[in-house]
Amino acid sequence: MREIIKYLGPLLRHYRYQMIGLLILGSMISGLRGLTPELSRRLIDLWREGDGTGNITYPIGIAAIWFISSIFRYIHSYKIRVISEKIMGFLRMNLMRKYLDFDLKFMHSLDTGSGGLISRISNEILHVQFGIQKMTDMMKEPFAAIFMFGYLLMIDWKLTIFIVATLPIVGVLLKNIAKSIRKYITKNFTDMENISKTLKESLDGSRIVKSYNLQTVLEKRFNSEVQQYIDNRKIVVSREEATGPIIESIGALGFSALLVYIGNQIIAGQLTVADFMGFSFAVAILQDAVKRIQQAYVAIQQAVVSLQRYHEMLGEENHVKDTDSPIPFPIDWKSIEFKNVTFSYIEGKPVLKNFNLLVNRGESIALVGSSGSGKSTTVNLLQRFYDPDSGQILVDGIDIKRFSLEDLRKNIAMVSQDVFLFNDSVEFNIRAGNLEDENTSVEEAATLANAHNFISAKEDAYDTRVGEAGSQFSGGEKQRISIARAIFKNAPILVLDEATSALDSESEREVQKGISQLMKGKTSFVIAHRLSTVQDADRIIVMKFGEIIESGNHDELMERKGEYHQLRELQH
């Protein structure tokens, strides 16, 4: 119970007045339902005495009670469902905000990847919603049990004590069963994360799956994960469902014993048949109340497990943190410096080692080298997707950690090999570069990116939805839209991470025209494997194993006949 209060209490505190109202309404529902046994008992008494005066009034009274109760139950259920929907939206928004705030290092460390995060934000929160909705039973059924207990005492206190004596047994069983299924509920959530991960991989990688005939492999993997979920779920369900028959069996045994006692009492004239009928109705209502409390308790246990995992996720430390007292990013900055920067994705395996680089404003810097040399890591650290293990990145001598993340990233535009377009209009995808700018022309940015013609050729032009992953456009067209986005942003620092490596020669030529426009007047960091695309850079930085081994312009490096010369020769 402490855990229920701990996890559900804070969520319901905002709705405390509504919950108090629902508590009162629940007690009224239970009170009305509790009148039915007594009205039935009195009607049977009148029949036994041959009095027909109640044949109309009592049935009408019972029908009126049911009708009013049904209206109250509707209001009660509707209100609690609305509250649960609002709470579910609140929880999902919190998780979404946390996911968007996570640094990339944490995201890459997740065993279940983005599929697991999607499962938490969609599937697991549903258990919280269901648990809150089931709280209606936890709120009103105890009142029903109390009312029936009082009514049974009025009829025969000995019989009542006998009935109530079975309740502690039921309570202990409920507690033990709920405790035993919690670890399997946690396993179910983990299983769902794995299922979501595999499903997302299968959909995202559908071309590779088909090309390499991996359908059977993925089907087997998916089937194995689904089967694992079913196996764990069967344990949960079997224990959940066992509580009903156990409660009913205990009740049936007790009631059978009572029948013997009641029969003797009726024969002896100490109880009437009407008393027996009223007693039976009340016991049935009491038993139903206990069963509903049991079902609600199990549902709330699942909600508690889900909320525990929710709080664990919210409690995950974000290593890239915004400063509490940010200073403005300098407008007329002169230089960017990487000073003794060391960084590793896996502890003990540095990707950058005491990396030092000074870049003057307006310079175009090309980062070249073999895969794994640390090129992309360098520009990712500049944008604070990660923070260095040691060392600093400085703008005019100021550590970039002193700027707000928003302010820092406003000053950097990125175009990467892996183009990402939102499933929205072309205009939105370009404006995403700077949503606050309502004056700059989207068409002008697209024209500079050499994208206006193919966008205008579409029926809806800039209102065209790009489709999932930009499926309505070719690779070269998507890349030019992303260049238009960077042009629209008009940031002083530009990052080009393998921006043309995935394109054919014709598409590359078209994209290169857009890049040339984009780089004008910018401080550019250009990462490329094709060295022909960077030979006009002011400086070429040759990297190997996280260190700079050569630096200079194209002609200087070719004359030295070092690593750059060798890489260049290999590509010719």
Per-residue pLDDT band at 494 (split at 50, 70, 90): confident
Summarised one tens digit per residue, pLDDT across range 347-405 is: 888 888 888 989 898 888 888 888 788 888 888 899 888 888 899 999 998 998 999 88
Report how many domains make up the chain: 2
In a domain, 396, yes or no: yes
Map residue 393 onto helix, strand or coil: strand
In this model, does residue 226 exceed pLDDT 60? yes
pLDDT for position 206: 61
**Backbone phi, then psi, for 368, in 5-degree steps?**
-130, 160
In this model, does residue 1 exceed pLDDT 60? no
pLDDT for position 49: 67
In this model, does residue 503 exceed pLDDT 70? no
In this model, does residue 238 exceed pLDDT 70? yes
Residues 198 and 92 in one domain: yes
What rounded mean pLDDT belongs to the chain?
Answer: 78
Residues 294 and 429 in one domain: no
In this model, does residue 510 exceed pLDDT 70? no
DSSP 474-504: -HHHHHHHHHHHHHHHT-SEEEEESTTTTS-
Residues 375 and 307 in one domain: no
Per-residue pLDDT band at 278 (split at 50, 70, 90): confident
pLDDT for position 345: 82
Residues 433 and 545 in one domain: yes
- With a pLDDT cut of 70, the percent of the chain lying above it is 82
Residues 253 and 388 in one domain: no
Q: Which domain holds residue 152?
A: 2-314
Which has the higher per-residue pLDDT, 127 or 546?
546
Residues 286 and 342 in one domain: no
In a domain, 330, yes or no: no
Structure-token pair, residue 51: 């009095």
Which has the higher per-residue pLDDT, 117 or 416?
416
Residues 284 and 343 in one domain: no
Average pLDDT over residues 427-456: 81
Placement of tokens 């020769």 in the chain: 569
Residues 309 and 370 in one domain: no
Per-residue pLDDT band at 3 (split at 50, 70, 90): low
In this model, does residue 103 exceed pLDDT 80? no
Residues 254 and 358 in one domain: no
Question: Please, which residues have CB within 8 angstroms of residue 434's CB and are 6 or more apart in sequence?
Answer: 410, 440, 488, 489, 490
Share of the chain residues as helix, strand and coil, in percent rounded to the nearest 5: 65, 10, 20
Residues 236 and 344 in one domain: no
The CATH number of whichever domain residue 522 belongs to comes to 3.40.50.300
Per-residue pLDDT band at 201 (split at 50, 70, 90): low
pLDDT for position 297: 77
Per-residue pLDDT band at 505 (split at 50, 70, 90): low
Structure-token pair, residue 338: 């990487």
In a domain, 322, yes or no: no
Residues 389 and 501 in one domain: yes
Which amino acid does the sequence have at 239? R
pLDDT for position 547: 86
Between strands 539-544 and 364-368, the pairing is parallel
pLDDT for position 144: 77
In a domain, 482, yes or no: yes
Burial readout 477-516 (b: 16 or more C-beta within 10 A, e: otherwise): bbbbbbbbbbbbbebbbbbbbbbbeebeeebbebbeebbe
pLDDT for position 340: 92
- With a pLDDT cut of 90, the percent of the chain lying above it is 1
